[in-house]
Amino acid sequence: APPRPRLLLGQRQTPAVMARLQKDFTLFAIPETQMTPTELVTAAREFAPEAIMVSSPLPIRAADVAQLPPSVRVIATVSVGTDHLDIPAILGRGIALSNTPDVLTDCNADLALMLILAASRRAAEYRDLMKQGWGRGLAMDEMLGVRVTGKTLGIIGMGRIGRAVAQRARGFGMKILYSNRRRLGAEDEHGAQYFATPEEMLPHCDILSLHLPASAASDGMINARMLALLPRGAIFVNAARGALVDEQALIAALRDGQIAAAGLDVFRNEPTPDRRLLDLPNVFATPHVGSATMETRTDMGMLAVDNIEAALANRPLPTPVTA
Ligand code: 8YV
């Protein structure tokens, strides 16, 4: 039998993915959780793998790429987002690169709806109260949430995930607005109203949800000026990337009631987000788990391995990342 290709794993994967990897590849040490960038580069230099499998947010920057041994032919990220990778540096070294679009769309959209509902209906505060044993009857006007039915949801970034969020939100009776680099065709809009810029859309949004990638252009786009454009008491949801948000401005808006509540799955500083954000009673927070179901994480891992096998066999990649 030909020698099994050497694969360096940055994070442990689901059991089904691990079983496939252990059968078809020679693995370096299997990380308990997630390697640091330094550990990844050190392991790569020691082990000289043909393939590297990572997930966001484990970064591979230009300086890391420069240190990789020449054995590396493919890097597969188990994520749709690629902001943790220096794409020109990787491709510039002739290393093939893939991500995992599509397979996580539904679960990420489900999580966005969970955040919308949890923020609107004060899930964090109710959970805290129940953990304390509840204890006394609530007045009819006490701890009230916001009705989502009939409300207007604004989506920034109407790609695969944004469209899946719109589809679900329509089922909850919400009206959909969106801003995107380009307008969708009528068959994909399903009646959603297009705005050429977020600035024009924000004054009309009861709920705002972000579904665009992090990039130099989108960094901090949700700042004090943008939050002030929302109607007072709006709900804000982010299951995309923390870097899209100026968190100081968001904290201020949540404190003074400009934003009534936020549902946040992503943060600037993961895995140690700004405590002032987490401590706010009107923040419902989750630890970057948009794709975190057994089914989806297995689909993502399998797609990453499909890409690695294709690259090592000199076949076209199923889901390549290109420049
Ligand atoms: C993470 C994600 O990769 O796909 C993405 O871009 O952010 C997620 O799916 C996953 O949660 C591992 O951190």
Res 128: pLDDT: 95
Q: Which domain holds residue 207?
A: 105-285
Average pLDDT on 155-177 reads: 98
Residue 91 pLDDT exceeds 90: yes
Residues 88 and 141 in one domain: no
Res 2: pLDDT: 76
Domain assignment present for residue 319? The answer is no
Return the residue whose CA atom lies nearest to atom 2 of ligand 1. Answer: 79
Mean of all residue pLDDT scores within the chain: 97
Residues 203 and 234 in one domain: yes
CB of 243 closer than 6 angstroms to any ligand 1 atom: no
Measured CA to CA, the distance from residue 205 to residue 232 in angstroms comes to 10
Residue 266 pLDDT exceeds 80: yes
* SS3 of residue 226 by DSSP: helix
Strand order of the β-sheet with 283-285 is 193-195, 175-179, 152-156, 207-210, 234-238, 259-264, 283-285
Average pLDDT on 126-142 reads: 97
CB of 290 closer than 6 angstroms to any ligand 1 atom: yes
The Å distance, Cα 292 to ligand 1 centre, comes to 8
The Å distance, Cα 290 to ligand 1 centre, comes to 7
Residue 1 pLDDT exceeds 80: no
Confidence grade of residue 264 (pLDDT, cut at 50, 70, 90): very high
* SS3 of residue 108 by DSSP: helix
CATH number at residue 265: 3.40.50.720
Q: Are strands 6-9 and 259-264 parallel, antiparallel or unpaired?
A: unpaired
Domain assignment present for residue 320? The answer is no
* SS3 of residue 154 by DSSP: strand
127 is catalytic: no
CB of 202 closer than 6 angstroms to any ligand 1 atom: no
Q: Which atom of ligand 1 is nearest to the CA of 108?
A: 9
CB of 104 closer than 6 angstroms to any ligand 1 atom: yes
142 is catalytic: no
Residues 34 and 93 in one domain: yes
Domain assignment present for residue 130? The answer is yes
* Enclosing H/E stretch for 29: none
Domain assignment present for residue 317? The answer is no
168 is catalytic: no
Average pLDDT on 231-256 reads: 98
Measured CA to CA, the distance from residue 201 to residue 180 in angstroms comes to 11
Residues 276 and 298 in one domain: no
- pLDDT tens, 274-313? 999 999 999 999 999 999 999 999 999 999 999 999 999 9
Res 30: pLDDT: 82
Res 249: pLDDT: 98
Domain assignment present for residue 99? The answer is yes
Residues 213 and 150 in one domain: yes
| Strands (DSSP E) found in 102-183 | 152-156, 175-179
Report whether the peptide linkage leading into residue 57 is cis, meaning its omega lies within 30 degrees of zero: yes
Domain assignment present for residue 44? The answer is yes
The Å distance, Cα 78 to ligand 1 centre, comes to 7
- pLDDT tens, 150-162? 999 999 999 999 9
ipTM over 0.85: yes
Res 7: pLDDT: 98
- DSSP string of 60-104, one letter each residue: B-HHHHHHS-TT--EEEESSS--TTB-HHHHHHTT-EEE---STT
Residues 161 and 48 in one domain: no
Return the residue whose CA atom lies nearest to atom 5 of ligand 1. Answer: 79
Residues 161 and 252 in one domain: yes
Domain assignment present for residue 69? The answer is yes
- pLDDT tens, 33-43? 788 899 999 99
Res 323: pLDDT: 84
- pLDDT tens, 199-243? 999 999 999 999 999 999 999 999 999 999 999 999 999 999 999
Residue 256 pLDDT exceeds 80: yes
Res 33: pLDDT: 75
Res 35: pLDDT: 86
| Strands (DSSP E) found in 123-266 | 152-156, 175-179, 193-195, 207-210, 234-238, 259-264
Q: How many domains does the chain have?
A: 2
Res 84: pLDDT: 95
Confidence grade of residue 254 (pLDDT, cut at 50, 70, 90): very high
Res 89: pLDDT: 98
Residues 142 and 220 in one domain: yes
Residues 111 and 252 in one domain: yes
